[in-house]
Structure 1
Amino acid sequence: MSGKRSIFEEVSGDTRKTAAQPGMIDRGRGGARGAIRAWLMVLFALVVAMIVVGGLTRLTDSGLSITEWRPVTGALPPMSESEWQAEFDKYKQIDQWRLQNQWMELGDFKSIYWWEWGHRQLGRVIGLVWALGYAGFLIARKIPAGWHGRLLLPGALGGIQGAIGWWMVSSGVTQGEEMTSVASYRLATHLGLAFVILGLLAWYMMALGRSERDLMQARRAKETRLFGLATGWMHFAFLQILIGALVAGIDAGRNFVDWPLMAGQFFPPDATELTPLWRNFFESPGLVQFIHRMAGYLLLAYGIMAWLRGRRSAHAQTRFAFNAAFAALLLQVVLGIVTVLNAAPLHIAIVHQLMAVAVFVLILRARFLCAYPIATSVRG
């Protein structure tokens, strides 16, 4: 007959205990997060370079020097004097040469050709770096769970960007239509998509810089109202970037070079003389620059509000992110004024465009930290 058993005695004969297994959230989901993040950093740097080279191509009026879209064979530049002359002859058939650049000799043509060729070549390099990286991680099965579609998206948008680039150039490769540059709204579309791609890469880099477990825990502390404010700030900055592209597309920054007035008055003269009326919003230098200025003032006012709210965040990293974004915005406003007062010279105008990248990415980082705040101890 068995003896009495304690109510606290284990029923099973197996007294072994299973140890707790930390990190189960990340198990099977980590992939090569660090390597993928490094790859995205390279793509990010290349896209920034693409925006800068694209800006210089526009500022030097080089964008129409290549009159054909040859995605594959166009990778090779002219290799002989006869090939150079053939390209120059094609350029001579369009309105830009007939109305604006008849003074050019072959040597002058080569200088603008290299800008446009370099811009297109850099686009090919970006596509190649993306394709090789994505294929490599896919074959090695190192892509984290849930990231396949996200990493595919920048490549797909890059392909669309190439087509939009030619759609933009084709608007200026005309004969008898009096066009000497690309359509400004197409230029804005082209630049806008570049910033969308840049924003995706930046967001992915920030997310991959932290573990899945960390992101899941941080999401519980999301500052919803501040996140909404940062989202509005990001969209407003993006809109101002598009308006800036319209300014660049028609050289509006070189038409009115006084500030804070425009030609000595608040509203520029002859700003709505084009017909129909809607054309003025894309083609009137006075109205387009006026809109860019007013949007800049409003963006600054919104930025002050966002910064004051961001300073009240419970998280030190988030507060610093809002400080950095606002400081960049202030510098960008000053650069904008300097650009206008100096009639948008190439070196100042390109710094102004590069600063727009910094403002956009820093606002994006503030938004990310609102969604995934980094907790700090009471002591620190």
Structure 2
Amino acid sequence: MASIDTTTSISNSKPADRMRPVRTWLYCIALLVLIMVAVGGITRLTGSGLSITSWKPISGIIPPLTDADWQAEYEGYRQIPQFQVNNHWMSVEDFKSIFWWEWIHRFLGRMIGFAFAIPFVVFLVQKRFSWNLAGPLAALFVLGGLQGALGWWMVSSGLSELTSVSQYRLAAHLSAAALLFMALVSVARSLEPEAPKTPVRSVEWWGTVALLVLIFVQLIAGAFVAGLDAGFGYNTWPLMGDSFVPPGMASLDPFWKNIFENTTTVQFIHRCIAYLIVIYLGFRLWQQSRAGGFGGVHQWLPRLAGLILFQVALGITTLLMVIPIELAVAHQVTAFILLGTTIAYLTDMRRAPRV
């Protein structure tokens, strides 16, 4: 009985982890962002992103409820080039099938705002975090709002001249979502009660920063592939058609436009960055194995390796199967998971002792 009392006393002497609800909240918001990214991918692949032609941040939360409401939404869609060029065959009933995906995407964005703001105020009142932490968290809320504005800016690019959204604005929208997701994971991870004890060398830190940059650049390159439907250009691997370097990669003038507007060049760049990431990852694994192995904070590195190899296999399969929606969305979501895992690794390294 005495031993039980002693154990209880020791347990009760440990400081309460008051930040655990805050961490859980931030991870839940990150998960919601990930779900929104998946729905956004479905919205794009089903051609649904331009189905709502107005931005009503408050009243837009209510979907069409009557036949007159549906007719009004349909008439708005009939005025844009996508309907007139690609979807002029659509009836109101056909239109509903694309409308709902875009409405769900926007609805999730609003719900994320509520899911962030309400607990934020509650935790502030409970004094679970200081004003020093409240500032960065408020900045995350502003970043989330900016993401909504970027989304409308992206959609507006396809309402007057284009039959789809601008690939430049799509890349900006996806990049902002990635930054928000990484920031949420990083802040949540930094609130863990115990800091890692594994010493971290500067070369290990900067090596992981380089990996994060490569993965982020690859995400942006993937956004251009998606925005231009460049994945449909060559559905062969490892060659593009009959060669590793396909013809026509410099067909646009000036040359820089090929990097962002030539579907062949955009797909080639996306492939090459993937090869570079795999080669660099192999180097980092070799480097870390010689420097002390994968214990402590460096347990993240083999996990990253597994995720990257899975992502490469998923990308190749998506390409060879001519971009099925399920695989394409999984490929996009896995890219975000890779970014989140890498930023968690970096956050743990930042909190660890430096040598």
Match of 1:209 in 2: 192
Match of 1:353 in 2: 332
The residue type paired with residue 362 of structure 1 is: T
State yes or no: 1:230 paired with 2:208.
yes
Q: Supply the distance in 1 between the matched residues of 2:126 and 2:316 (Cα, whole angstroms).
A: 51
The residue type paired with residue 225 of structure 1 is: V
State yes or no: 1:339 paired with 2:318.
yes
The residue type paired with residue 252 of structure 1 is: A
Q: Supply the distance in 2 between the matched residues of 1:251 and 1:71 (Cα, whole angstroms).
A: 29
The list of structure 1 runs, each at least 4 consecutive aligned residues, that deviate by more than 4 angstroms after superposition, is none
CA offset digits 1:278-305 (Å, max 9, x no partner) = 3322222111101101111111111111
TM-score by length of 1: 0.85
SS at match of 2:212: helix
| Contact kept in structure 1, 2:190 and 2:348, CA below 8 Å | no
| Contact kept in structure 2, 1:33 and 1:144, CA below 8 Å | no
CA offset digits 1:62-99 (Å, max 9, x no partner) = 10001111111111111111110111111111111111
Q: Supply the distance in 2 between the matched residues of 1:320 and 1:50 (Cα, whole angstroms).
A: 29
Match of 1:90 in 2: 76
| Contact kept in structure 2, 1:43 and 1:129, CA below 8 Å | yes
State yes or no: 1:301 paired with 2:284.
no
SS at match of 1:247: helix
Q: Select between 278-287 and 68-77 the one with higher mean Cα deviation.
A: 278-287
Q: Supply the distance in 1 between the matched residues of 2:253 and 2:166 (Cα, whole angstroms).
A: 17
State yes or no: 1:165 paired with 2:148.
no
The residue type paired with residue 154 of structure 2 is: M
Q: CA deviation at 1:358?
A: 2.1
SS at match of 2:132: coil
State yes or no: 1:44 paired with 2:55.
no
Indicate which of 260, 275, 287 corresponds to 1:282: 260
Indicate which of 110, 113, 119 corresponds to 1:127: 113
Tell me the number of residue pairs that the alignment of Structure 1 and Structure 2 aligns: 340
Q: CA deviation at 1:185?
A: 1.2
The residue type paired with residue 106 of structure 2 is: R
Q: Residue 372 and residue 118 in structure 1: after superposition, are their counterparts in 2 closer, same or farther (change >3 A)? A: same
SS at match of 2:183: helix
State yes or no: 1:66 paired with 2:52.
yes
| Contact kept in structure 2, 1:57 and 1:119, CA below 8 Å | yes
Q: Supply the distance in 2 between the matched residues of 1:185 and 1:356 (Cα, whole angstroms).
A: 19
The residue type paired with residue 250 of structure 2 is: T
SS at match of 2:256: helix
SS at match of 1:122: helix
Q: CA deviation at 1:315?
A: 6.2
Q: Supply the distance in 1 between the matched residues of 2:106 and 2:27 (Cα, whole angstroms).
A: 21
CA offset digits 1:312-335 (Å, max 9, x no partner) = 346613332100001111111111
The residue type paired with residue 256 of structure 1 is: Y
The residue type paired with residue 170 of structure 1 is: S
Q: Supply the distance in 2 between the matched residues of 1:89 and 1:276 (Cα, whole angstroms).
A: 39
Indicate which of 231, 255, 262 corresponds to 2:240: 262
Q: Supply the distance in 2 between the matched residues of 1:346 and 1:160 (Cα, whole angstroms).
A: 27
Match of 1:185 in 2: 168
Question: Quick one: percent identity of the two aligned structures?
Answer: 38
Q: Which of structures 1 and 2 has the bigger CA Rg?
A: 1
CA offset digits 1:249-308 (Å, max 9, x no partner) = 111111210111112122223333334433322222111101101111111111111222
Unaligned runs of at least 5 residues, structure 2: 1-13
The residue type paired with residue 369 of structure 1 is: D
Q: CA deviation at 1:150?
A: 1.9
The residue type paired with residue 321 of structure 2 is: N
